[in-house]
Amino acid sequence: MFQSNKQDVAERHRDNPLITPADVKPSRDDLEVIGAFNPGVFEYQGRIGLLLRVAERPHQEPGYISTITVHPDSNQLEVKRFHGTDPYLDTTDPRVIQHRGFLYLTSISHLRLAWSDDGEHFQIEPTPAVFPEGVYETYGVEDARVTEIDGTYHITYSAVSDHEVAVSLATTKDWQHYQRHGPILQPFNKDVCLFAAEDRSKYWMIHRPSGVMWKRNWMWISESPDLAHWGRPRCLAQTRMEAFDSARLGAGGPPLPTNKGHLEIYHGADEGHRYCLGAMLLDQADPYTITARSPKPLMEPIAPYEQKGFFGNVVFTDGGILRDDHIWMYYAASDTVTCLARIPLRKVWKHLEI
């Protein structure tokens, strides 16, 4: 059921993609689902759960381009429609609509649960788990990472609005009731995962600020005594010239616990927006220190569904789990679908040359 290839160490599931937009019921009849991707991953009561990012847009009428936002007070969806021939309309990037100096997203995302007993076959819930609400989420909620700490699941996600992209937190114990905590990190930040010291004396957050002057998209790390207040922000990892991560990089899911340290699978992109996955090993006691980092991609967009889609040439992960000395990596391809690959830990160590 997993197939090796010669280009990278990932063994892709032969049924990939496991989840496509066609598998997901839209949240409203007049919307279509165009993405079911970037899932946070967790285990709950013996099952594997995915918290998918579901991207929706209005059914497109000929001659028009329409998108939607959420009203910050009523939390109701509002359709925004442009004439396709509007000379002020710029749709060169499929992810955004630029119009008269203003920026809209082409779709709005919410978070949706999918469940599996075996980790390979998923049932997708018919309604959203976390739907955008309030002033910080008028353009949607995206890219959840899930960290379980002592029975509470911490969901960090991108909160998108004209306040820019902030990171918000929601928590749940039962995946039915959610507590929304609002922003925990001001803009411009994304790609946040939380993790805890074994004795709970400290918590860490990897995050990815973006800068307006030097256009940096580097990974940072901060620490917390209580998961609510964060300090000592420091740069964890920079882009590397002429490498697969030359233009931007950011955390995947929460680091996986191994006997060599915290194993973080991250995404790196080059100037051509080709997204690969790499690995970095963080010191067990002091995760501010990187002890090893991928010299080349751990995983590259090589399968057809990884090269073509809404935004092609992308593999991107928000989490994986450890099973029998393998990483079961849930990942998204082409900003469209959800896939699974297996990576033996021994191949990761060899790749990291440790």
Q: What residue ranges bind a second copy (CB under 8 A)?
A: 103, 135-136, 162-166, 182-189, 207, 209-216, 218, 220, 222-226, 228-235
Q: Which is nearer to a second copy, 174 or 286 (CB)?
A: 286
Q: How far is the CB of 91 from a second copy (least distance, A)?
A: 16
- Is the distance from CB of 247 to CB of 275 less than 8 angstroms? no
Residues in contact with 199: Cβ distance below 8 Å, sequence separation at least 6, in sequence order: none
Burial of 89 (0-12, 13-18, 19+ CB in 10 A): middle
Element (H, E) at 347: helix 345-351
Cβ at position 222, least distance to a second copy in Å? 7
Judged by CB, which is closer to a second copy: 189, or 338? 189
Q: What is the CA radius of gyration of the chain?
A: 19
Which is closer to a second copy, CB of 85 or CB of 92? 92
Q: How far is the CB of 117 from a second copy (least distance, A)?
A: 38
Q: Closer CB to a second copy, residue 22 or residue 212?
A: 212
> How many whole angstroms separate alpha carbon 40 and alpha carbon 52?
7
Nearer to a second copy, 98 or 284 (CB): 98
Of the pair 47, 216, the CB lying nearest a second copy is at 216
Pair 90, 102: CB distance under 8 Å: no
Residue labelled with tokens 């805890």? 196
Q: Residue 267 and residue 299: Cα distance in Å, rounded?
A: 9
We find the least distance from the C-beta atom of residue 257 to a second copy, in angstroms, to be 24
| Residues comprising the chain, all counted | 354
Supply the minimum distance, in Å, between the C-beta of residue 136 and a second copy: 8
CB 132 within 8 A of CB 179: no
Minimum CB distance to a second copy, residue 133 (Å): 15
Distance (Å, rounded) from C-alpha 280 to C-alpha 198? 19
Q: Which helix (H) or strand (E) holds 343?
A: strand 337-344
Minimal distance in Å, beta carbon 334 to a second copy? 21
Q: Which is nearer to a second copy, 228 or 354 (CB)?
A: 228
* Inter-residue contact 178 to 166 (CB < 8 Å): no
